[in-house]
Structure formats: structure tokens, C-alpha cells
Amino acid sequence: MPVDIVVVGSCNLDLVVNVEHIPQVGQTVLGGDLQRIPGGKGANQAVAAARLEKSVAIVGRIGDDESGSLLQKNLEDNDVNIDYLFSSTGVPTGVALIAVQGDGDNTIVVSPGANSKLTPEDVIAAPPIAEAQVVLLQAEIPIETVLAAAEIAKGIVIWNPAPAPNEIVPLELLDLVDVLIPNKKELELLAGTKNATNLDSIVEMVQTFPCSSTIVTLGEQGAVVVASNEAVHIPAPDITPVDTTAAGDSFCAAIAASLVEGKDLIKAAQWAVQVGSATTLVAGAQPSLPTPKEVHQRLKDR
């Protein structure tokens, strides 16, 4: 039976340290105890969508190591289908090194490991991609694999270009994307300019892409939906974040879940802003991903 959402993307073990402030270049800071938390943009989005009560499968790669086993079990425990979660022999599972400072902001360095071994042949071997209502993609896997998945998909294609690719993004990929979801920095990197200073400049940059719709996430300022030459700003709730890790991932998952339900992009973005905001009120990547009930409760209790 086809699943609602297929996520093609990364699985990482997050190594997280809380610090008073993120160190500058050349600076050493002392932090709290090291935490080992399941993460990776692909896995985060898959778990987030499953917690939002959608049927989800993931296509990805882990290493044949302890970290890979931990991530696989965690996905299973969260009701994510792992039939196409492949294992790479002799290659370590991806790792993210994350420092979270007192105001919830973070810095992240990713060692892709097995994620870099996910190939176009892997996605060709995964029939659920062509059967799903929504295919959700990111950029912690090779760009040629992202393109192959977009070409196979028959449903709605969402691409979250995070982290923004260093190489030139193939125009044929952007042609295949139905909903592009960058943050402001990723938008600037994709457009090759640093002019995303206000709503008008963001809309102007978005309109240079061939994607039919774009949603730009703006952190505490919410998001901007640009579709059919119209732009709508969706404000975020007034909250004090604990940890912003995975907020963007839960936002993307909420967009995917809403589109499965038949919502339009404005209603989808309104819900996604709520979900992303609620995610920042709990520490850790996947531990912070909320169910619909938890979204309302967390924002009520903020």
C-alpha cells in the first residue's frame, strides 16, 4: 500500500553540547555533557511527518556500525518504514557535531559518512518514491541523487535545499520541484546574492527560480509564501526558544503533511510555522518533534 510521504535523505547521529555561547574562530569554550541524539535532515523530517500522523517511508543510507543500528531502531520505533534504508559496509554512519548556545541558536558541522553513498541507483530501486503523494528531499545527500528522486516522483516534490549545495544546482531539478523551502541564507546562496534584506527583495529573488511555489523560512519572523506571483507573510508566535535544531525539518514535514491533507500553501504554512515554533521549545532534534496535540500544548504553555 503506498505511503503518504517518502523522504529521501540523510540519517545522522547528532553529537550535541550545550554552550553558553558559540565559539568564535580560534576560541575554545567549555560546554555541558555530550548527548547522542538521532538526527539527520532526512530522518528528522521522516519522524516529524510520522508524528504528524502520516504514513512515511525513508530512503537513505546508514553505516554497518552501532550508530546505524541506533538510528534504524529509532526510525522503526517512530513508525517510519525502513524497507529502503540501505546499509553501507565499511562506511561510518553520518555524524552531526552540534553546539547549542543559551538562546537556542546553534552551529552544525556534518560528516556525511554513508549519506554520501546514497546513489541514483538506490532511489531507482525504491518503488515507494513513484507511489507517494509527497516526496520530501533535502541536500545532505548527493545532488544527483536528489535529482533522480525528483525525476521518479509522480506526486508533489518538496525540496529543502539545506545545507545549500556548494555546486551549481541543476536547472532541471528546480524545474521538477513543486515547493522549494529554503531559509533566507539558503535562498541567498541559491540565488548567488546577499540581497534578501526585506520582503520585496526576498520575493524578487524567489521569482528568478522556475519552481512553481517557494516558502522562505525566516526563523522568529515566520515564513513567506510566494506562489502565482503573490507573496504572503506568515508571522511566528512570540516564544523564547530552547533549541532551534530541527525546527526547519519539522516545518518541512508539516508542509508535506498538510499537502497530503489537501490544504493550500497558505494554510499549510500557517500550520508549519506553529509546528516549527513548538519544536524549538524542547531540546534535541528528534526528541523535540511534536505530535499535533503537543504543538497546541507547547504553544499554550510557552
* 240's grid cell: 523564547
Of residues 33, 105, 249, 301, which has the active-site annotation? 249
* 248's grid cell: 526547519
Q: Is there a contact between 53 and 291 (Cβ–Cβ < 8 Å)? A: yes
Residue 23 CA, distance from chain mean position: 25
Could you give the residue ranges of the DSSP H alpha helices within the chain? 41-51, 66-77, 120-124, 128-131, 143-152, 171-176, 184-191, 199-206, 247-260, 265-279, 292-301
Q: Which amino acid is at 153?
A: A
Q: Cα(282)–Cα(110) distance, rounded to whole angstroms?
A: 22
Residues 272, 276, 277, 279: is their CA dihedral positive or negative? positive
Q: Is there a contact between 68 and 93 (Cβ–Cβ < 8 Å)? A: yes
Q: Cα(104)–Cα(243) distance, rounded to whole angstroms?
A: 4
* 260's grid cell: 497530503
Q: Is there a contact between 182 and 213 (Cβ–Cβ < 8 Å)? A: no
Using alpha carbons only, how large is the chain's radius of gyration in Å?
A: 18
Q: Is there a contact between 8 and 136 (Cβ–Cβ < 8 Å)? A: yes
- Residue indicated by cell numbers 515566520: 222
**Is 105 a residue of the active site?**
no
Residue 139 CA, distance from chain mean position: 9
Which amino acids are annotated catalytic? 249
